[in-house]
Amino acid sequence: MNVRPAGLRPVWLLAGLLAVLVAVVAGLAFGSVALPPAGVAAELLNLIPGVRLHSGLTEREIAIVTQLRLPRVLLGLLVGGMLALAGAAYQGVFRNPLADPHLLGVAAGAGLGVTMVIAFRSTAGEATTNLPFGVPFAAFAGALVATALTWLLGAAGGRDRAPATLILAGVAVSTFLAAAQTYVMQQHVDTLREVYSWLLGRLATAGWHDVLLVLPYAAVTGAIVLSQRRELDVLTVGDEEAAGLGLHPQRSRYLLIIAASLGTAAAVSVSGLIGFVGIIVPHTMRLLAGPSYRSILPLSVLFGGAFLTLADLVARTAGGAAEIPIGVVTALFGAPFFIVVLRTTRTAAL
């Protein structure tokens, strides 16, 4: 008797949408200049064609909301959603709850690609205020190389590529790529400040450039990964069983890896190395909403975006005048969470 995994329950979908709404309003209302949440919500509704409400905000406050904070909040939603979605996809493909873009070396590969672009643009004498639209391609190439290296190195652990072996392979690949990145930085010392600022993670943006840069990649990644949510459920039973159900395991696996790497690369290219989002959010969704990827994937997008937007709010406000790198904030949440997941996974394996 086949029991189909439960799909996405409406209550969880509503919870995810509510989390996004709360994160957006909070991200727009709070900062160096505090604004009334009700006025901010009204101003958001005014962005809908045909809607005109009195928000009570001054012209200066409206400009703060729409021109300064809104692009940053939307960028947080896109980056957080993609990192969480990629983490969920990697966990399903590798059948490992510890799989994460950073642990598998994917983020390090993308980071090396972006660092090389920054360094060589500086050598060519080009301005680096805004990254060009081609930067995600360099990050994508680095991410795919890292994924391939991790996958091949993991083969040393046997045909089944045990989860622990893949994680160790990812750590080794990340270390190697970090060394290569350090070498590039040493050869272009004039870019050190820019690269280090980017490495620590940030969502600071001077306008809509980064949002427009990452949006197409987010759309492609989301469309591909979400369309494969049922295939991910089937992959969890093993390749032989999946093939018996009419699925092509390797083709689905490669498609998901490429799509997840594209999303990770695009996120890294505009936000830097922001860790732990890809492990915190999907694992939490699995614990709360069940093991089916028909629930995990869409909820990871919603809660991942909300989580990173709120983390960015903490980064902007907790340090006073000095902004805390968002990668530090996510690490403060992620490191204890990772330890809990590791202990849980280890206990379950005994």
Most confident of the following: 35-44, 95-104, 118-127: 35-44
pLDDT for position 73: 95
pLDDT for position 1: 39
Q: What is the mean pLDDT of residues 55-61?
A: 92
The confidence band for 299, taking pLDDT boundaries of 50, 70 and 90, is very high
Residue 213: both structure tokens together: 């840069």
H runs (alpha helix) in 30-162: 37-45, 59-63, 70-94, 106-123, 135-154
Residues contacting residue 249 through CB under 8 Å, at least 6 positions apart: 235, 239, 242, 243
Least confident of 82-91, 184-193, 222-231, 250-259: 184-193
With CA atoms as reference, report the closest residue to 63 among 81, 77, 43. Answer: 43
pLDDT for position 2: 46
What mean pLDDT value characterizes the chain? 84
How far is residue 39 from each of residues 35, 81, 104, measured CA to CA in Å? 7, 26, 43
pTM, two decimal places: 0.87
pLDDT for position 204: 73
Residue 3, pLDDT > 60, answer no
Give 174-177 contacts, CB < 8 A, sequence gap 24+: 174/102, 174/103, 174/105, 174/107, 174/108, 174/146, 176/149, 177/105, 177/108, 177/109, 177/111, 177/112, 177/142, 177/146
- DSSP per residue over 131-171, as a string? --TTHHHHHHHHHHHHHHHHHHHHGGG-TT--HHHHHHHHH
How far is residue 170 from each of residues 283, 319, 343, measured CA to CA in Å? 19, 33, 19
pLDDT for position 29: 95
What is the share, in percent, of the chain residues with pLDDT greater than 90?
Answer: 37
How far is residue 195 from each of residues 160, 185, 214, 256, 313, measured CA to CA in Å? 38, 8, 19, 29, 23
pLDDT tens per residue across span 30-48:
988 899 999 999 999 999 8
Residue 125, pLDDT > 80, answer no
Question: Helix crossing, 106-123 with 135-154: angle to 10°?
Answer: 140
pLDDT for position 128: 47
- Residue with more model confidence, 29 or 107: 29
Residue 232: both structure tokens together: 């991910």
The confidence band for 6, taking pLDDT boundaries of 50, 70 and 90, is low
Residue 105, pLDDT > 90, answer no
pLDDT tens per residue across span 176-222:
999 999 898 888 888 777 777 777 777 876 578 889 888 999 999 99
Q: What is the mean pLDDT of residues 100-122?
A: 83
Q: How far apart are CA 260 and CA 262, in angstroms?
A: 5
Q: What is the mean pLDDT of residues 74-100?
A: 90
Q: What is the mean pLDDT of residues 99-118?
A: 85
- Residue with more model confidence, 346 or 312: 312
Q: What is the mean pLDDT of residues 65-83?
A: 94
